[in-house]
Amino acid sequence: MDHAVQQAGEVGSFPHPWQRISAGSGLTLHAAADLRLDAAMLQAEFAGLDAALTQDQRGHYQNGLGEGWTSIPLLDQPREGSSSGRKGMPRPSLDFMPSLRALLDQPGWVAWGCDILRQSAYGTLAWHSEPQALHLEHFRLLIPIHAPAGAVTLLGHEAAAYPEGQAWSGDFCFPHQVENLTDRDRIVIAIDLLVTPEIRALFPAALTENVQLRTALAAEANRSMRDWLNELAA
């Protein structure tokens, strides 16, 4: 699999204590899916969508998500909520992305949310976590459209960078930070899915192994991160 996976460093060299918690645990925190879309096609489809939308048709995030982030929603979440097992309703914007629409229509895919996220050049989404992982009910699938060399996701003790078109996911219960310290925008499809047998089959079993251990270590890492944030705010 031609994805780049970098270790963030030896155990003693991590800049934050919560990164050291998963080091040496043997846990797999992220992995590529057995799924890859044609990157050139995705980029062409996105270019048409990007040109068609005005700024007020996008989501704009500053302090909450990270300065300089915008989103293009492709699905409206079901009224019953993400735990209903119902799919999100396609927005007109999804018509610009036929290759993505075909993917979402596959049997066993229950996507309740889908957005195209743009992280501006030299942008950082600071350390955070959310209950999205393949061993839970919901998880997030990411597919890069534009992935500048040097843009990485720090996840626990690792740094991950996947090529354009390659679907991947991670155990985002662990603290993670998204860095784009390059002069190009990073653009990625983010799909929020119910975990089904069809979805599980796309990933190596290691991403869901040792649930008790990964749950305990994720909780410990998040406590460490919260303590650090509280000290900063004091």
pLDDT of amino acid 82: 63
Which segments within the chain are labelled E, that is strand? Answer: 4-7, 30-36, 59-61, 69-73, 75-76, 89-90, 111-119, 123-128, 138-146, 152-155, 158-161, 166-170, 176-180, 186-194
The residue-averaged pLDDT of 156-180 equals 94
Q: What is the pLDDT of residues 73-125, one digit of tens each?
A: 999 988 776 666 789 999 999 999 999 999 999 999 999 999 999 999 998 88
Share of residues in the chain with pLDDT > 90 (%): 74
This prediction has a pTM of 0.90
Q: Structural domains in the chain? A: 4-233 (2.60.120.330)
Q: Name the residue type at position 29.
A: L
